[in-house]
């Protein structure tokens, strides 16, 4: 399936390190790109907008210097995630900054990506849109995006209730372009499985949260390592949209989601518990089931590359009759 030119021969394994609020900061983005997978961050991690300007200059300069110093290395492109929602006051200003820096890769989420597509295509950049269902996917296709990212059930952050198996096949039926699959993908075997299902790239969040370079607090990383899927709560009562959260992080603040009002609570309700959403109440996906360490990004990506190579050589099932 068509991979945008930006990603051709530019990755060691077909993986995008997905943007994570308060987690993906420049050290993680740069480590991912240097390791050979796409590194991204949400624009709102840089506060205020002037900091976005500084981060983008810093990331581009460091990656350019690294490429020059390591001509044989596969250094992946970087990207920014823009929250395309009317309620986001920084959207217009930050889109201008992204365009000025000619950020090679932009991921939109939550709203209609039309303006972003125009602006980013204007300088030759690539735009993918994050979707959790087929209806949203059709709107993004109409807006002219270069790729779709389907985030299936069990993902960290805001996750679809639809299984990845179902979602990716449903979208593949009407979208022949570049398709990315996310949700509980941690290793090279799962990356290969995503390709077998029809995806071109895998979208990996929670696994990269538990790395040395991520901005998550040490306790948060350890909680991801210690957690099982039984420790996750899938609820819309914290952010107003269904997302997976680590129950032990809620318990630390005396929060029991079953006691919260339906849908998004007044933020003062959380403040009464001394907790801020995302900062103290932590999100992670079903990937926690197989995360057992907090490695450096380069070590983790090397491991993924090996697993992916092994998975690509798998013979057909022994159950198949000759």
Q: Are the C-beta atoms of residues 37 and 203 closer than 8 Å to each other?
A: no
Q: Counting contacts by CB under 6 A, is residue 18 touching ligand FMN?
A: yes
Choice from 167, 281, 284, 300 touching ligand FMN (CB under 6 A):
284
Structure tokens at 111: 């709203």
Torsion angles phi and psi, residue 72, rounded to 5: -85, -10
Residues 195-224 that bind ligand FMN (CB under 6 A): 203-207, 209
Choice from 37, 150, 285, 297 touching ligand FMN (CB under 6 A):
285
Q: Counting contacts by CB under 6 A, is residue 23 touching ligand FMN?
A: yes
The residue among 63 and 281 lying less far from ligand FMN, judged by its C-beta, is 281
Rounded Cα gap, residues 31 and 177, in angstroms: 28
> Which residues are CB-contacts of 272 (< 8 A; sequence separation ≥ 6)?
none
Rounded Cα gap, residues 12 and 1, in angstroms: 18
Q: Counting contacts by CB under 6 A, is residue 21 touching ligand FMN?
A: yes
Strands 232-235 and 243-246: antiparallel
Residues 147-176 that bind ligand FMN (CB under 6 A): 151, 155-157
Q: Counting contacts by CB under 6 A, is residue 111 touching ligand FMN?
A: no
Rounded Cα gap, residues 130 and 128, in angstroms: 7
Q: Are the C-beta atoms of residues 147 and 178 closer than 8 Å to each other?
A: yes
Q: Which stretch binds ligand FMN (CB under 6 A): 20-28, 46-54, 87-95, 231-239?
A: 20-28
Q: Counting contacts by CB under 6 A, is residue 188 touching ligand FMN?
A: no
Task: Give the footprint of ligand FMN on this chain (CB under 6 A).
Answer: 18-21, 23, 42, 81, 109, 130, 151, 155-157, 182-185, 203-207, 209, 283-285, 287
């Amino acid at each position: 399936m068509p991979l945008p030119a930006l990603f051709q021969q530019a990755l060691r394994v077909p993986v995008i390190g997905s943007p994570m609020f308060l987690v993906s900061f420049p050290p993680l983005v740069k480590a991912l790109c240097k390791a050979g997978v796409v590194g991204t961050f949400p624009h709102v991690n840089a506060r205020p907008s002037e900091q976005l300007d500084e981060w983008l200059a810093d990331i581009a300069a460091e990656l350019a210097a690294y490429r020059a110093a390591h001509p044989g290395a596969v250094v992946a492109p970087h990207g920014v995630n823009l929250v395309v929602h009317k309620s986001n006051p920084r959207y217009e200003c930050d889109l201008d900054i992204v365009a000025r820096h000619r950020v090679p890769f932009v991921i939109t989420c939550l709203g209609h990506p039309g303006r972003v597509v125009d602006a980013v295509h204007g300088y030759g950049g690539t735009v993918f849109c994050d979707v959790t269902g087929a209806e949203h996917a059709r709107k993004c296709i109409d807006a002219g995006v270069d790729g779709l990212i389907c985030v299936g059930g069990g993902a960290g952050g805001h996750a679809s209730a639809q299984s990845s198996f179902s979602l990716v096949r449903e979208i593949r039926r009407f979208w022949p372009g570049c398709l990315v699959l996310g949700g509980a993908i941690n290793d090279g075997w799962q990356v290969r499985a995503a390709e077998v299902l029809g995806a071109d790239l895998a979208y990996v969040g929670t696994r990269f949260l538990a790395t040395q370079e991520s901005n998550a607090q040490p306790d948060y990383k350890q909680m991801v390592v210690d957690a099982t899927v039984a420790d996750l709560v899938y609820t819309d009562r914290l952010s107003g949209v269904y997302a997976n959260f680590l129950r032990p992080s809620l318990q630390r603040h005396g929060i029991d989601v079953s006691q919260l009002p339906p849908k998004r609570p007044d933020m003062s309700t959380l403040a009464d518990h001394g907790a801020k959403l995302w900062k103290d109440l932590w999100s992670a996906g079903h990937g926690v089931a197989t995360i057992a360490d907090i490695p450096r990004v380069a070590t983790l990506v090397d491991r993924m590359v090996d697993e992916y190579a092994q998975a690509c050589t798998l013979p057909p099932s022994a159950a198949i009759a000759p």
